[in-house]
Amino acid sequence: MTVMDPPSGTQSIDRAIGLLSLVGRHSDRGLSLGDLVTATGLNKTTVRRLLLALINAGMVSQGDEDRLYRLGIEAYVLGTFAAPRFGLVETAMESLGRLARKTGDACLVSARRNTNAICLHREEGTYPIRSHVLQKGVEHPLGIGAGSLAMLAALPDHEVEAAMAENWPVIRRDFPQVKAGMIEAGIAATRQKGYAVNPGLIYPNAWAIAMAVTNPDGSLAGALSIAAIDTRMQADRQADLAVLLRQETAAVRLRLERSRPAAERAVTARNRPDGRGGR
């Protein structure tokens, strides 16, 4: 099955959306027609026709010199409209920069995407030896990696069960080192400690620690992570890093609260279960 195998009747729409998503994930460097043909499994004529429609709509542009495809101006406009609601990267940038300066390690923000976790931004630290496993745009099944595990553990049990049921075939295929029970044990440990740790499970020397970020209403917003080589992520330092993560996840949550319209804040306050909102 290719990355585009949509149901009949919505084929063109689904394929165009899939192409737009591919272009968006690689918009910094751009993609060639050949890249898109290979990634989608579609023939060149179909890809070119869909790209032309996206270009006409302003969603995709093609470079005059390199002929590579990138996001267009209309995609930018729509993104600015969505930013106030989904602007986790902008909200977290101050905290990521502070974490990177204090730790010297790479600091990342991730978000949930259905049953997956996607890295939205990576802020490099100054320590010369780095773990380069997780980069912007990389997507893993929920439970794979520290940020992904932190987000999974923050979900209600029924959502955890649904995500794991869908993800296990992919995990068995792509991450055979993750055995049955490992993620469940990781969820339990994360909920007990308040943060998740990936002790080199995916790549032996690539460790990470992460903490979920919640919205003001208690729902999951994403996760902040600190990634480093194994020698910089042992138990004594984990405790120190957890303190920093706790401070910055709280700061991000506060900025999310302040960025919401006043009407939304009032509704949340009225519905608070702690007695301060009238319930």
Average of pLDDT values for 29-35?
Answer: 93
- Going by pLDDT thresholds of 50, 70 and 90, the confidence category of residue 2 is very low
Q: What is the pLDDT of residue 3?
A: 47
Cβ atoms of 4 and 15 within 8 Å: the answer is yes
pLDDT in tens, 177-206: 998 899 999 999 999 999 999 998 888 888
Is a pLDDT exceeding 80 seen at residue 278? Answer: no
- Global model pTM greater than 0.85: no
Range from 64-68, 83-87, 141-145, 226-230 carrying the lowest mean pLDDT: 83-87
Q: How far apart are CA 85 and CA 50, in angstroms?
A: 29
Q: How far apart are CA 75 and CA 114, in angstroms?
A: 21
**Chain centroid to CA 75:** 19
Range from 61-75, 150-164, 260-274 carrying the lowest mean pLDDT: 260-274
Q: What is the pLDDT of residue 202?
A: 82
Is a pLDDT exceeding 70 seen at residue 263? Answer: no
Q: How far apart are CA 9 and CA 25, in angstroms?
A: 26
Q: What is the pLDDT of residue 130?
A: 74
pLDDT in tens, 68-103: 999 998 988 787 666 655 678 889 999 999 999 999
pLDDT, averaged across the chain? 86
Q: 87-265: which CATH architecture?
A: 2-Layer Sandwich (3.30)
Q: What is the pLDDT of residue 204?
A: 82
Cβ atoms of 79 and 59 within 8 Å: the answer is no
Q: Which fold has domain 11-78?
A: Arc Repressor Mutant, subunit A (1.10.10)
Q: How far apart are CA 268 and CA 155, in angstroms?
A: 19
Q: List the domain boundaries for the chain.
A: 11-78, 87-265
Q: How far apart are CA 108 and CA 93, in angstroms?
A: 9
**Which tokens in the block code for residue 20?**
């737009």
Alpha-helix residue ranges (DSSP H) falling in the chain = 11-25, 33-40, 44-56, 73-86, 88-103, 146-153, 157-174, 182-193, 235-259, 262-270
